[in-house]
């Protein structure tokens, strides 16, 4: 007598993991390391990339995720950096995040073998992007001081998902009721091991530490997903 084989159907999240692993295989094969960069809308992801990528000692490319438009990829292309724009508007009202399959659909437009590092700039959102791995080596997020110190407590998954938290727009601190120490305490509550950088992408202050971090990721050994 044969026993019935029971196979539990994969759900949407598992499908994402499967495709993320395929992406990761392609990244490893090409010798490119990948950063998934996330933040709320307007926290300064593109501005930080503009301030740091031109001085990076690695061959870098960018994948820009936005609901609509190509403004950010135009800014990156202006720096003579290979960039692909990925718009999510085809989804139901516009998808609020990138998933592994969307990233995969754009990989054919990048020559991965010519890159040491690929930075994926996710859709501006503090919730869903943290729920979808895309095959990345490292996840980083930017939190602007204008957003208030309470964000780690209100969006814990995002802050927990990232190994690096960049506190941006420090040039505005004199004009705000914002205490960086309170932000660091709140962050420590949800992610005690996160590395924290304080920068002003606008003035350039502190941004060299982010460039160094990117260099470090580009030099990492390939690891399993």
Site for a copy of itself, rule CB under 8 A: 13, 40-42, 66-69, 71, 92-96, 123-128, 130-131, 144, 146-148, 150-151, 153-157, 169, 171-172, 175-177, 202
Q: If DSSP codes are grouped into helix, strand and coil, which group holds residue 37?
A: strand
Q: If DSSP codes are grouped into helix, strand and coil, which group holds residue 140?
A: strand
Looking at beta carbons only, is 96 or 106 nearer to a copy of itself? 96
Q: Which two tokens stand for residue 98?
A: 């990138």
* Closest distance of CB 125 from a copy of itself, Å: 6
Closest CA to 218 of 32, 54, 46, 29: 32
Looking at beta carbons only, is 201 or 217 nearer to a copy of itself? 201
* Closest distance of CB 169 from a copy of itself, Å: 7
Closest CA to 125 of 169, 100, 157: 157
* Closest distance of CB 205 from a copy of itself, Å: 14
Are 25 and 19 in contact by the 8 Å Cβ rule? The answer is: no
* Closest distance of CB 190 from a copy of itself, Å: 9
Looking at beta carbons only, is 13 or 219 nearer to a copy of itself? 13
Q: Are β-strands 195-198 and 117-121 bridged in parallel, bridged antiparallel, or unpaired?
A: unpaired
Residues 6+ apart with CB under 8 A from 43: 124, 142, 143, 144, 147, 168, 169
Looking at beta carbons only, is 32 or 123 nearer to a copy of itself? 123
């Amino acid at each position: 007598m044969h026993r019935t084989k029971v196979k539990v159907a994969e759900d949407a999240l598992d499908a994402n993991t499967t495709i993320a692993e395929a992406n990761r295989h392609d990244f490893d094969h090409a010798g490119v390391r990948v950063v998934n960069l996330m933040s709320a809308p307007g926290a300064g992801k593109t501005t930080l990339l503009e301030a740091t990528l031109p001085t990076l000692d690695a061959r870098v490319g960018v994948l820009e995720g936005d609901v609509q438009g190509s403004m950010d990829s135009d800014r990156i292309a202006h720096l003579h950096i290979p960039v692909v724009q990925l718009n999510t508007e085809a989804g139901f009202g516009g998808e609020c995040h990138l998933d592994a399959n969307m990233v995969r659909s754009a990989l054919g437009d990048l020559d991965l073998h010519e890159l040491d590092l690929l930075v994926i700039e996710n859709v501006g959102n503090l919730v869903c992007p943290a729920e979808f791995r895309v095959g990345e080596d490292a996840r980083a997020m930017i939190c602007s001081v204008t957003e208030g110190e309470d964000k780690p407590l209100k969006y814990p998954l995002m802050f927990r998902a990232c190994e690096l938290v960049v506190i941006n727009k420090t040039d505005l601190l004199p004009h705000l009721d914002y205490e960086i120490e309170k932000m660091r305490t709140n962050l420590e509550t949800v992610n005690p091991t996160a590395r924290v950088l304080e920068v002003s992408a606008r003035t350039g202050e502190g941004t060299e530490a982010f460039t160094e971090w990117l260099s470090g990721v580009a030099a990492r050994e390939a690891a399993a997903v």
